[in-house]
Structures are given as C-alpha cells and as structure tokens.
Structure 1
C-alpha cells in the first residue's frame, strides 16, 4: 500500500521587505504610506465647531440698529454698556475680529504666506507626523527633540522678527477698537439675555471646543512620541 506524502504547509515570510535606499546606498525597510486620519478628523471637528459657533450669533440688524445708538453719559456707563453688549453680541464681535484679522492678512500676503507655512510645518512635521522614521531634510536626519526645537525657534522668528507679529497685533487692536466703540455707543436696554444661558457660550465655547478638538486629534500622534 503506497504511503501518501505529508501535506506541505504554507510558510509565511515575516521578514520586512527591504528596498534599496537612494540616499545611503544600502537597504532600508519599506514604509507604508503615511495616512492622516487625525488631520482629517481635526479639519472636520474645526468645521463643525465653527458652524455651531456661528449658529449662535445674534441677528446682524440688531447690531446696526441706528435708533439704539446714543452717547454714553460717563466712562462707567460706557464700560457697563460694553459688558452688556459683549454678553449679548459675543459671537458677532468675535466674528468681526476674525474678519479684521483676515483682511489684514490678505492685504499683507507675505505675512499670510509665512503664517500658513508655520502652521503647516507644525501640523505635518510634528503633530500629525509619525515619530518613526525620523524626519530627513537635506540628507540629515532630525530627532524629535531637534524637530521640536527647530519649530519653536522658527515660530519665534516668524512671529517676532518678521511682519507677522505687527500685522496680528495691529489687526487685533483695530478689531478691539471697533468692538469697544460699538459696545460703548450701543444702548443695551432693548437686549434680553437668557438668564439660564451658560457663561461660556457662543464663540467662547467654540474656542474651547476647538482646543479640545486639537488635543483629541493630536493625542494619538503625541502619545506615540512619549
């Protein structure tokens, strides 16, 4: 009686595939393409929180109602008006600040390019970039500490040693002047705030939500570096 041959078991190769490296001339492990689900989640969360924040704005016609403007009787009266109007028009005021800032950056394209480049560098070179393999620029590998140090130094240089800092400060000062002038001359007696409205609503809640979204989106990348 003929004996049957034992079945051949498939052997899986668990060795990493090596490909020639054009930089070092040797071999290097092949890396999968870098996926950025955290970055897409970050963009989606920011868009959603912006829409939620803008949905809480007051009608713009209330902001520009001419019949509601009058000169304040004193400095304390102006301060009280600003406080009340800010509580009511919080989202509208912060939207105006954002518009002034956007116009200032658009009229200074060099500052806008530098700021966008700085933001892109932080997002793609540190926050949403895997810690392995190390960053390689101009034929040199940079460790995580070196990359973070370069980004911090670049941020200081861009903000304080270029026109970006002066443009941002000037835009914020102009926006704050517009908001304070409107709040001081807008009579708030016809405005009715919801007594049960939480203290941090509108764009303040948007800013808090945006910050938490940034932390949540960047958490996997940061945790992988620790």
Structure 2
C-alpha cells in the first residue's frame, strides 16, 4: 500500500507536466518557446519540470480576421521521478488539463488532452501533448504575442495490464503547476496589419486634399488677373 501511495505524487506530477499546453523576445509565428521551467506541487514537495511549447499560429493576420490555434508541448520529467513511477507499477499515463495563457495581454483558458504515454524503466520521461488553444481574433494592428502560463491537470495511471490504479482521494489526481518567474514565456508573435480597405480609404482622402489645394490656387490666380485688367485699361486712357 505504501508503494501505491507513492504512485500518486509521481504520476500526478508526471502527467500534469505532460499536459502542459500553455500558450504559451518576440518570436515569429511558427517558432517555439525556449525551455521553460515550472514549479509543480506533489505530495513529496515542490518538483521542477521543463517544457518546450509550440503553436501553429499564422505569421501574419489582418484586423478582423479569425484563426484557430493548435498547441503542442513537450515536457521532460526528471529521470529519478520517472524511474520511481515505473518501480511502483506504472506503465502508462494519460489525462486532461486546463491551461491558462495570455494572447495579446489577455488571459485565456483551454481544455487539452494528454494521450496515453508509456513509462520506461530508466531515464527521463518525455510527454508530448497537443490540442486546440484559444482562437485568434485581433482587433488592432501591431504585434500579437502568445505566452505560456500556468495549468492544472487531472491524471490517470495504468499498470501493465492496462488497468487504472485508483486510490481514494489520491488517484486520479489533480495537480497544479506554476511558471517560474523571470522567464521569457513568449511562444509566438503574430504581425497584425490593418485591413487593405482601410489603407485604400486613407490614400483616397490624401489625394482629395491635394485636388482641393490645386483648385484653390487656380481660383486665386484667376481673381488676380481679373483685377489687373481694368487698372491697365484706365492707365491707357
């Protein structure tokens, strides 16, 4: 029973890290984040996991356009923790996550899934998860950044026979992870431009102003000529 109790914190920390699909330097779209560190709560105390996050956000968009965004995250769990997980009988893990991120400075959430991931006897455990992030809908021109944030995950652990290990109050487990401070959490940056129609309208207004200027100059010149003719005629008399 003691060994099964240990399975909970290790499995929870492992899968919650795998479900890190945070949206999350100005990186161009289709780039990836740097390696990010997270403080994750377990029954054995704080643990640190690393993650690299990516999205398929477009490189450019126009104001008023919309675009769906898919997110992929690769999280590495330390070898000591992964090996302990294997030792207590875990052979695979899976689960779901609710992640927060910022898009253009506004916080958004997304519900994501971690597929079944095998647990090896030795070495670190890499979990790769993917899912739909918050869609993009820029309202003004400029750079729109997508940044990684915190997340909460619900995890399940399975033995070699594929049976879920269930422990009352422990498994399935909910665990939270927080992005460590002072990191560049930018995942992607989308260049947003004004709609082409707005640019055309601005150009037409400029041209109209120029025409008015020309007409005013012509009228003034005509008035000056008309004023000089009678003066010249009187002088001749």
Q: TM-score, normalised by structure 2?
A: 0.20
The structure with the largest alpha-carbon Rg is 2
Return the structure number with greater helix share. 1
Between the two structures, name the one with larger relative contact order (CA 8 Å, sep ≥ 6): 1
Return the structure number with greater strand share. 2
